[in-house]
Chains A and B, each alone.
Chain A
Amino acid sequence: MIPELQLSPSRPGTLKDPSNHFVPTAAAQIYPTGNLQRLLRMLSGISKPHVLDLGRLSGSNIEWLIQKGFKVYVDDRITTLKPAPPSPPPSRTEKKKPAPAPLEPLEYDPALFDAVLCWDIFDYLVEKQAQDLIAGILKVLKPKGLLLAFFYCNRTTSPPPVRYRILQADQLEYKPLPQTLPRRIYENREIQELFGGFDTVNSCFLKNQMREVLVQRQQG
């Protein structure tokens, strides 16, 4: 068997081969965001809102949010994500897939947070993990609390994981990371089902193939 050659893309930031997740030379890109701005506006009436950031750790985001008057809690769920166990050799008797590694529960007081920033964490979770995380978020989020999530929607390409950096309320920097993580592509219906206990505030599809979803926890 001939080993696959790992060729870097000819231009930084381009992905000729969809299977090539690793783009070490990709530069950070700046994209607009409407739902982060909307979230900030909706929380503007609350004194020192508590926000939980479940995305990749970004020191500048923490500082930015604190300057906006938030109390920030950080709980990076992607870095701590345990890889799925290797599949056992196929056998005739057992055809079940290995169970995904369970996520650590969200150990916070109930109804503590006014908002939860999930960024694109759901793209890297299997269905059961995503459901468990949503159940945990529903417990720690206040009624009418907000949740911001991103979903990558293009099945033909699979860009590398990124670190989101808030530049302004309506502008984000996407900094690609030299990592490979299998990304799950959601159907619209799956996103709706995932946020069953929430009302949709806004859901928009961006030119960079990302769907930004802002949802609000239902009262009671």
Chain B
Amino acid sequence: MWNWNYEPEDRAAPQPRYPMEGNPPAKNNPESRREKMGQVAIIGQSIQIKGELTGNEDLTIDGTVEGTIELKENSLTVGPNGNIKADINAKKVTIIGEVQGNVTAEETVEIRETGKLRGNIVAPRLVIADGAFFKGSVEMERKPGLAKDKPHREEKPVSRPELLAVKP
């Protein structure tokens, strides 16, 4: 029958669904998230995006993107299944799949052996593997617009401690 002596097991106290006061939520900081998860953002093979893609973390695209891609301070990798019809502006661009559009990089554009690019390149450094496909023009210059975007750090004169002559 009824077990009146039944003692319920200790249940873990239900966690609040939302963090309570004094336990602030982790900031939506891509850097900290990357450190925790140990990976970069990935747009998978079955994903199709049309429009403007911006962000401030490294990104790998293995799907289809049409529009524009802006990752000015981060790296973009177009994976082997990636198919991009967009102008790309990133710090570093690595192409393993296919890209149709102009590519501007602050550091490097790399086209791997299986990579295909139809578009113009503006980057201070270019790496093209034998077997890659590229049709377009190359400007190995730093884009002036990118330099403008970075805030100039005003250097303050360093105050040095004065040496005082000490009389013996």
Contacts and interface: CB of A to CB of B under 8 A. Distances in A.
A63 B126 contact: yes
Contacts, number: 42
A87 to B, nearest CB: 28
A75 B130 contact: no
A100 to B, nearest CB: 21
A163 interface: yes
Contact of B133 (A63, A73, A76): A76
Nearest to B133: A79
Interface string B119-157: 000000011111011111111100000000000000000
Interface in A65-118: 66, 71-76, 79-80
Given A62-B128, A63-B126, A57 B138 contact: no
Given A66-B140, A72-B138, A74-B138, A57 B133 contact: yes
B135 A62 contact: no
A135 B126 CA distance: 32
Contact of A71 (B126, B128, B137): B137
Chain A: number of interface residues, binned into ranges: 10 to 19
A57 B128 contact: yes
A57 B134 contact: yes
14 contacts: A57-B128, A57-B130, A57-B133, A58-B128, A66-B140, A71-B139, A72-B137, A73-B136, A73-B137, A73-B138, A74-B134, A74-B136, A76-B133, A79-B133
A172 to B, nearest CB: 15
Q: Which of B127, B128, B132 has the most CB of A within 10 A?
A: B128
A70 B111 CA distance: 21
Contacts of A3: none
A58 B111 CA distance: 11
Given A59-B128, A62-B128, A74 B140 contact: no
Interface string A167-183: 00000000100000000
Nearest to A70: B138
Given A71-B139, A72-B138, A74-B138, A62 B133 contact: no
Contacts of A80: 133
Interface in A27-63: 57-59, 62-63
Contacts of A72: 137-138
A131 B163 CA distance: 82
Contacts of A76: 133-135
Contacts of A62: 126, 128, 138
B139 A59 contact: no
Nearest to B137: A73
Contact of A59 (B126, B135, B136): B126
B93 to A, nearest CB: 14
Contacts of A66: 138, 140
B102 to A, nearest CB: 13
B140 A63 contact: yes
B137 A59 contact: no
